[in-house]
């Protein structure tokens, strides 16, 4: 590929910025000075910018424990985004797979693998997403039945049946809920439909991918080879 594209893909700068670096003699390929942006370079070749090695990475996969107050978006003019937290990222085309509300915590996959994201998010694949939550209101077995039957949350069709597990029942109840969709504010709307309110929400898993509890809110790590392999086989194991 073109040298300027190589460097742009790796986040060295905009196309005009990397062209300027190349023309100023700040870039070498396999130890040789290259001053032509159109120079063809292989992904396995050694490219240095101002003496720093820039290795080409095709795909990146990160598990993030999203903190509350952070926006699930690539850019935002007012708030910190989940991509702002990935300090070690090499590519500039990363995005969050699905969205968590600003005040929701927990598992979020960050990648640039569009095919994997589509597989995990497509409604026809029915990938389980499990959350834990604190709910204002006493959650009972009647709620478990209602969630299992599929709740009307104000759309043309009811939400798909969801699995609701009661961890503690009281004025503030603690639950786990597993859904197979990702509708806008879905968990909050489901509890609103049964006259309850979500006070705290955290995603624990998405398909086979489970939140590494060693990650504190705001921390992240690359996916392991095993985690990625299972996801790529369908994310359902």
Contacts of 80 (CB under 8 A, 6+ apart): 69, 70, 71
- Cα(110)–Cα(98) distance, integer angstroms: 9
- Which positions are annotated as active-site residues? 101
Count how many residues are written for the chain. Answer: 237
- Cα(82)–Cα(93) distance, integer angstroms: 13
Contacts of 44 (CB under 8 A, 6+ apart): 56
Contacts of 126 (CB under 8 A, 6+ apart): 160, 180
Gyration radius from the chain CA atoms: 22
Single out the residue of 190, 132, 128 nearest to residue 159, CA to CA.
Answer: 190
């Amino acid at each position: 590929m073109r040298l300027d594209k190589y460097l742009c893909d790796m986040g060295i700068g905009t196309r005009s910025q990397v062209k300027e670096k190349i023309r100023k003699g700040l870039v070498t390929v396999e130890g040789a000075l290259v001053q032509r942006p159109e120079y063809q370079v292989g992904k396995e070749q050694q490219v240095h910018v101002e003496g720093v090695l820039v290795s080409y990475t095709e795909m990146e996969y990160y598990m993030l424990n999203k903190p509350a107050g952070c926006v699930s978006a690539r850019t935002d003019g007012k708030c910190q985004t989940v991509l702002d937290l990935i300090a070690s990222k090499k590519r500039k085309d990363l995005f969050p797979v699905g969205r968590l509300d600003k005040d929701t915590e927990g598992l979020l996959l960050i990648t640039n693998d569009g095919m994997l994201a589509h597989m995990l998010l497509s409604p026809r694949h029915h990938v389980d997403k499990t959350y834990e939550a604190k709910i204002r209101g006493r959650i009972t077995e009647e709620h478990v039945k209602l969630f299992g039957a599929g709740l009307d949350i104000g759309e043309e069709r009811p939400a798909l049946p969801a699995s609701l597990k009661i961890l503690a029942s009281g004025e503030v109840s603690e639950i786990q809920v597993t859904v197979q969709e990702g509708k806008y504010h879905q968990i909050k709307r489901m509890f609103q439909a049964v006259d309850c309110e979500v006070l705290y929400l955290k995603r624990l898993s998405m398909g086979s991918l489970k939140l590494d509890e060693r990650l504190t809110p705001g921390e992240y790590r690359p996916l392991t080879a095993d985690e990625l392999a299972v996801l790529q086989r369908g994310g359902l194991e």
